[in-house]
Amino acid sequence: MNVQMSVNGDSISLDVPPNEVLLDTLRTRLGLTGSKDVCRTGDCGACTVLLDGRAVNSCLVFTAEVDGSDVLTIEGLVEDDKLHPIQEAFIEEDAAHCGYCTPGMILSAYALLKEKPKPSREDVQEALAGNLCRCGTYYAATNAVLKASQKLREIQSS
C-alpha cells in the first residue's frame, strides 16, 4: 500500500506491504540505520524514533499506520553538519560505551526536553526507562540529558 510521510523533514512516498514495520522501512528502504534493530518486541528501545513528536518503538509500528505522519530519526538531529546539543552532551559525559542504545536514548531525551525543558533527575530517569543499556551507561546518560537541558535553555535565552 502507498504511504506518505515526512522523514526528517523530507516528504516521502513509498509502497510497502501492510505487515512491514517502520523500523524495517527506515533501515532497509531508506538506509537510515541509526535506529537500531535489537529486540523487535518493544522491550529495549534501541529502535526509538519520534512519531509526530512522541517517542515510540519503531519495531512496534506498522509503516501503514503512520501514513500522513512526521517521523524524526537520529539522522534528523544533525543540522548543517553540527551535532545537536544532546549529542554533544552525551559525548562530553562519556554516556556512550558500545553505543547501540545511544540513538534511542538521545531521541527519548529529545522528546522529553521538547515537552519539559527543565526536567528533574526523576523525569529523565522515567523518560529513559524504555531504553535499555547493557553497558550500564544510565548514570552518565542521565547526567548528559540534564547537561543538555541546561545547554538548550542557554541557547534559547541567548
Partner 1 sequence: MRATVPAFDYYAPDTIPELLNLLGRLDSPSLIAGGTDFIPAARLKGFRPANVVSLRNLGKELSYVTIKDGLVRIGALTKIIDAQRSELVCTRAPCLHEALSQIGSVQIRNRATIGGNLCNASPAADSAPPLLVLNASVETIRQGTGRTIPLKDFFLGPGKTALEKAEVLKEVAFRPQEGGSSFEKLGRTNGEDISVASAAVLLKISGSKISEGRIALGSVAPMPMRALQAEKMLSGKEPSAALLDSVASMASDEAVPVTDVRATAEYRKSAVKALVRSAFARALERARGG
Q: What is the smallest separation between the CB atom of 65 and partner 1, expressed in angstroms?
A: 5
54 contributes a contact to partner 1 by CB under 8 A? yes
Write the interaction track for partner 1 spanning residues 55-94; mark x where CB under 8 A is met and - where it is not. Answer: xxx-xxxx-xx-----------------------------
Find where cell 514495520 sits. 21
List, edge to edge, every strand of the sheet that includes 2-7: 10-15, 2-7, 70-72, 48-51, 54-57
Nearer to partner 1 by Cβ, of 65 and 154: the residue is 65
41 contributes a contact to partner 1 by CB under 8 A? yes
Write the interaction track for partner 1 spanning residues 117-146; mark x where CB under 8 A is met and - where it is not. Answer: ---------xx-xxx---------------
Nearer to partner 1 by Cβ, of 62 and 88: the residue is 62
Q: Point out which residues bind partner 1 (CB under 8 A).
A: 1, 17-21, 24, 28, 40-42, 45, 48, 51, 54-57, 59-62, 64-65, 108, 111, 126-127, 129-131
